[in-house]
Amino acid sequence: MAREKTSIDWSQYSLRKIDFTIVLVFHLLAIAGIFYITWSSALAAVVLWVFTGMLGITVCYHRLLCHKSFETYPIVRAIHLFAAALSFQRGPLTWSKHHLRHHQNSDQEDDPYFPQHGFWFCHIGWVIFKRKARYKKSFELPQHIKNDRLNLFFEKYNLPIFALSLVALYLIGGVEFVLVAGFLRVVLVLHFTWLVNSWSHRFGYRNFSTTDESSNSPLVAILAFGEGWHNNHHMYPRSARHGMQAWEFDPSFYWIKALEFCGLAWNIQTTTVKAKRLAEQNAQKA
């Protein structure tokens, strides 16, 4: 399944010095956090892992904003955008731009994660290196993302909100909370998100013959709240349900269904492998 790795022409890339420094400092602080783990700081980290990783990144940035998989009230979206701001994965416009460009060019030259350069470049290299060549295909963020006031607010104040969350963690639990529930949790959630781009385009099984190399990985699905069913997702990007077979555990979808149960989500897009294959067969017969 894994594609041929091409050698990297480093003259085509420049180091993003600020991003590299931030990534390095965050990793050093995360490593320091390992020595400060206590029951209370670990519990805070787990709660924030779910709050930021699932509500913020997978449910809000990915399924709600990028793919319009369901609709909800502005106040519910604002709470989820706040959760995403605490993940330190940039604002909703920037995150969506990277992700939608990935869908537009999956595993091709214009894929912003540079899959042609192997696992690590695709995992973290794209964060710290900038490609000098311009993208060949033009790309526009959809109106519902770039012209929305809430999205623009959280794009602008993303870093101050994150910084305030560290202050809050310090006031609640001191240095150990900042290092464990702050930096260690942020770095782990970053890697869990990056695994969707790297691991889930290399290892795992495929339910569908998509034109890219996306795959379904149970490990990534657990770490990233259902995002590991990435081959299903590339086949049917609008579906709020990524785990399309009964055993494909998808907590982000269960959260969206819980919102629906409470009257807070509607117009949920779903499909299953069975339904999708049936539709394909019918299309072939027609």
Shortest distance in whole angstroms from residue 102 CB to Zn ion:
6
Shortest distance in whole angstroms from residue 29 CB to Zn ion:
29
- Between 193 and 214, whose beta carbon lies closer to Zn ion? 214
- Between 214 and 239, whose beta carbon lies closer to Zn ion? 214
Q: How many residues bind Zn ion (CB under 5 A)?
A: 1
Pairing of strands 129-131, 71-72: unpaired
Shortest distance in whole angstroms from residue 67 CB to Zn ion:
6
Please count the other Cβ atoms lying within 10 Å of the Cβ belonging to residue 166: 18
SS3 14: strand
Q: How far apart are the first and last CA of the chain?
A: 32
- Between 33 and 228, whose beta carbon lies closer to Zn ion? 228
Shortest distance in whole angstroms from residue 110 CB to Zn ion:
13
The residue number whose beta carbon is nearest to Zn ion equals 214
Shortest distance in whole angstroms from residue 213 CB to Zn ion:
9
User: Which residue type sits at 269?
Assistant: Q
Asked whether 256 and 68 are in contact (CB, 8 A), the reply is: no
Subset of 197-226 contacting Zn ion (CB under 5 A): 214
User: Which residue type sits at 21?
Assistant: T
- Between 184 and 240, whose beta carbon lies closer to Zn ion? 240
Question: What is d(CA 249, CA 244) in angstroms, rounded to the nearest whole number?
Answer: 9
- Between 41 and 87, whose beta carbon lies closer to Zn ion? 87
Question: What is d(CA 69, CA 238) in angstroms, rounded to the nearest whole number?
Answer: 5
Please count the other Cβ atoms lying within 10 Å of the Cβ belonging to residue 164: 13
Shortest distance in whole angstroms from residue 231 CB to Zn ion:
9
Closest CA to 216 of 202, 230, 227: 230
Tokens 């400092």, located at residue: 25
- Between 72 and 217, whose beta carbon lies closer to Zn ion? 217
CA distances from 276 to 2, 142, 153, 161, 228 (A): 26, 26, 38, 41, 19
Site string for Zn ion, 28-67 (x = CB under 5 A): ----------------------------------------
Site string for Zn ion, 129-158 (x = CB under 5 A): ------------------------------
Asked whether 70 and 269 are in contact (CB, 8 A), the reply is: yes
Asked whether 195 and 220 are in contact (CB, 8 A), the reply is: yes
Shortest distance in whole angstroms from residue 238 CB to Zn ion:
9
- Between 72 and 216, whose beta carbon lies closer to Zn ion? 216
Contacting positions for Zn ion (CB under 5 A): 214
